[in-house]
Amino acid sequence: MKIQRIIPALLLAPLSLTSLLSCNGTSVDTIKAMESNYDNHNKTIELIGEFDAPSFTFSSGKSKTMAMNFVVKPHAISSEKFTAFSVILPVGTENNSVLFELPADQKNYTLKNFHVIDKNGEKTNLDTHTTFKMTGTVHYNELEKPEAERDKTNFNYKITDVTFEKD
């Protein structure tokens, strides 16, 4: 009787592990491609991961956008991370935006100071490490220069027209 239960469990274990390990490879591949070629220029991409605070923030309250980071992992139990930089979000309380709240007496910011409002209007604090499905259009700064002046190894990009929702 126990053998009848063990055999199916042994067969299902590798399948479960395989599906867990390959759950986010497409997002990782997309980021790797964005950092190594211009194939995604002016194309809409989709990534699954979580928003992270930018490396720095604006110094005045007049900025209308903020370049956020978006972190993806190859799979749920991985410590390896890939980051899409310059995910441009409007600052405010509208859908698909970021809200940065830093008390006047606080000098350093943490994830607790950032909230994102998804396409459904749901406000989420970044400190919860929520997974989102994000889409946006990739633009390479280098391709805006005349062809003779381009550095073919510079793959700096920005992602605009961003929409996102909880995954």
User: Closest Cα to residue 159, out of 109, 86, 92, 93?
Assistant: 86
Contact 159, 84 (CB under 8 A): yes
Cβ burial, residue 55 (10 Å; 0-12/13-18/19+):
exposed
- Rounded CA separation 41/34 (Å): 9
In single-letter form, the type of residue at position 15 comes to L
pLDDT (tens place) for every residue of the chain, 167 residues total: 555 555 554 444 444 444 344 456 799 999 999 999 999 999 999 999 999 988 765 555 678 999 999 999 987 777 889 999 999 999 999 999 999 888 888 888 888 999 999 999 999 999 999 999 999 999 999 999 999 999 999 999 999 999 999 99
Edge-to-edge strands, sheet with 123-125 = 97-100, 114-117, 123-125
Note if the pTM is more than 0.75: yes
CB proximity list for 51: less than 8 A, separation 6 or greater: 68, 69, 70, 71, 87, 98, 114, 116, 126, 132, 164
Buried b (16+ CB within 10 A) or exposed e, 119-148: beeeebebeeeebbbbbbbbbbebeeeeee
Domain boundaries, the chain: 24-166
